[in-house]
Amino acid sequence: AVREGYERFDPRAYLQNNYVPPRADFSSEECVVPWKLRCLAETFASGEIHGRTLIDVGSGPTIYQLLSACDHFEEIVATDFLAVNREELRRWARGEPGAFDWSPFIQHVCKIEGRGLRGRLRRILPIDVHRAEPLGAPLRPPADALLSAFCLEAVSPDLAAFGRALAHVGSLLRPGGHALLLGALGESFYLAGAARLPVVPLSPADVRGALSDAGFVLRD
């Protein structure tokens, strides 16, 4: 049912629903978009999460989650299950006319034009987090870090599947690497145009338990 629902996913409608005003209101730090950017900026500013390769698991059609990472990794790999989302990312990476305008996000994060991320976004790959090999084959060398924003809970039918997906994407990470998850707790759906897509409602205890079961060591 989850897979069938995503057949109607409209990336442009999703971007309009979630990444333009009023939801993308940079005048208020209480708005969800500045909050997400602030969380990511503070995390990467610590300097602990860095290395050669960062894999973004389930990028969707968005790049905001990668802006704060571009100074800390030589290569960023964006992934998504849907070809329409991967094509939306490629349009932005190529700087094509008509690609979604992320410049307000870029200006909010780092006051640059986005060339830093474009230069490091080397690959845009298909991914299926419900397969034991999410990318179809192991990544060599393994990633130094994983990032996943609002993905795994949105593509898993239940808590057990969410936990298995965590274990699967964890196989892409080198021993001692870092995984950064950003998501919403207690949500049951989100909208992407005509598609009303289910989300597994998660509690903090659910997430902590699933991470621990998947072999991750939690950092507070």
Name the percent of the chain lying above pLDDT 70: 96
Domain 2-213 in CATH 3.40.50.150: yes
Question: E-assigned strands of 104-172?
Answer: 121-126, 143-149
What's the mean pLDDT when you consider all of the chain? Answer: 91
pLDDT at 42 over 70: yes
pLDDT at 3 over 80: no
Q: Provide the pLDDT for residue 30.
A: 75
pLDDT at 41 over 50: yes
> What is the C-alpha separation between 119 and 36, in angstroms, rounded?
23
Domain range list for the chain: 2-213
Q: Provide the pLDDT for residue 115.
A: 59
Q: Provide the pLDDT for residue 1.
A: 61
Q: What is the mean pLDDT of the segment spanning 74-79?
A: 97
| pLDDT tens figures, 93-118 | 999 999 999 999 988 886 433 557 88
> What is the C-alpha separation between 139 and 210, in angstroms, rounded?
23
> What is the C-alpha separation between 173 and 133, in angstroms, rounded?
12
Q: Provide the pLDDT for residue 110.
A: 63
Q: What is the mean pLDDT of the segment spanning 184-211?
A: 93
Predicted model pTM:
0.85
Let me know: does 36 contact 111? Beta carbons within 8 Å: no
Q: Provide the pLDDT for residue 114.
A: 52
| pLDDT tens figures, 140-182 | 899 999 999 999 999 999 999 999 999 999 999 999 999 999 9
Locus of tokens 């690959």? 123
Q: What is the DSSP letter of 57?
A: T
